[in-house]
Structure 1
Amino acid sequence: MVTVALPDTWAYALRLPYDPRAARVARTTVRAALKGHGMVEVLDAVELLTSELVTNAYLYAKGPASLRLTALGEGRLRVGVWDSHPCIPAPFARPPGDRVPPAPAGDAGGRGLFLVQELADSYGGWSLKDGVLDRGAGKLLWFEVGGKR
């Protein structure tokens, strides 16, 4: 009998409609993909951070979003969320090491992106251009977790 080892690099992409259930669909997809690839050690953090980014895309972009999970090898995972809103929020818009303070206790929001800076090993964002009329094509926010340091 031949044993086949699964590759440690892979990618999944998911197009998410503008729908309040998109974050739940993204969490379910993340959970299934990471369990299927044996990456349970990063599952809770990735599920939470993905949910935060997809929720922000729904709240601010007012259009569809895309989710991409990419295993980079050696247990590292990158998660990217694209949406059509051009603004890159803090902490993604700040230089590495420039920290965003936590939201005040009474505020209804403002904790999700703080969680990214606390739980992700690295993160960033890119403003995208459409190249034709230069109206902008939104942004891509990403974070990475796991692997050897």
Structure 2
Amino acid sequence: MVTVSPPGTWTYALRLPRNPRAARVARMTVRAVLDSHGRPELLDTVELLTSELVTNTYLHTTGPASLRLTALADGRLRVGVWDSHPRVPALFGEAPSDNVPSDCDGGRGLHLVRAYADRWGGWSFADGPFDRRAGKLLWFETGG
């Protein structure tokens, strides 16, 4: 069977171990991929938001993560980060009900995704046809 992709679309996937350097590896991958596809205008935003999502997988889960970059036919870029914990953070659902205190050391990453991404969302695989693939996928889109 032959698979046909629209012109200008591509996908990269990377498995990340549970390691404090995973966010750095993800940033380096994003930089290399966007540079190789001539998308420097997306670099700062995608690098920051990807780093935030991958850092959360290290801080809040005990297993590996996966990063997927997908160029969509309309010029947007979708970034997905999968991890082994099934809970989708509240900020990827309803509007946030509280702000992070200015003296807090963390808690801003998902606020940054909401502020700088064009679209975002999350899916839990715990309660559905994908039970054997526990975990969740958080994603965002930008560009276009």
What's the TM-score once normalised by structure 1's chain length? 0.86
Name stretches of at least 5 consecutive residues in structure 2 with no aligned partner.
1-6
Q: CA deviation at 1:20?
A: 0.5
* Aligned equivalents of 1:134, 1:8: Cα separation in 2: 34
* Aligned equivalents of 1:55, 1:24: Cα separation in 2: 9
Q: CA deviation at 1:100?
A: 5.2
Equivalent residue for 2:106?
109
Equivalent residue for 2:60?
60
Q: CA deviation at 1:54?
A: 0.2
Equivalent residue for 1:4?
none
Equivalent residue for 2:47?
47
Q: CA deviation at 1:90?
A: 2.6
Describe the shift of the 1:136–1:37 C-alpha distance in structure 2 as closer, same or farther (beyond 3 A): closer
For 1:41, what is the secondary structure of its paired residue? Answer: helix
Q: CA deviation at 1:8?
A: 1.1
Q: CA deviation at 1:61?
A: 1.0
Equivalent residue for 2:86?
86
Q: CA deviation at 1:55?
A: 0.3
Letter in 1 for 2:104: D
Letter in 2 for 1:29: T
Q: Is the 8 A contact 2:15 2:66 kept in 1?
A: yes
What's the TM-score once normalised by structure 2's chain length? 0.89
Misfit runs of 4+, over 3 Å: 99-102, 129-136
For 1:115, what is the secondary structure of its paired residue? Answer: helix
Q: CA deviation at 1:74?
A: 3.0
Q: Which moved more, 1:73-82 or 1:127-136?
A: 127-136
Letter in 2 for 1:42: L
Report the count of equivalent residues.
138
Identity in percent: 67
Equivalent residue for 2:38?
38
Larger Rg: 1
1:66-87 CA distance string (max 9 Å, x none): 0000000232000000000111
Letter in 1 for 2:43: L
For 1:53, what is the secondary structure of its paired residue? Answer: helix
Equivalent residue for 1:127?
124
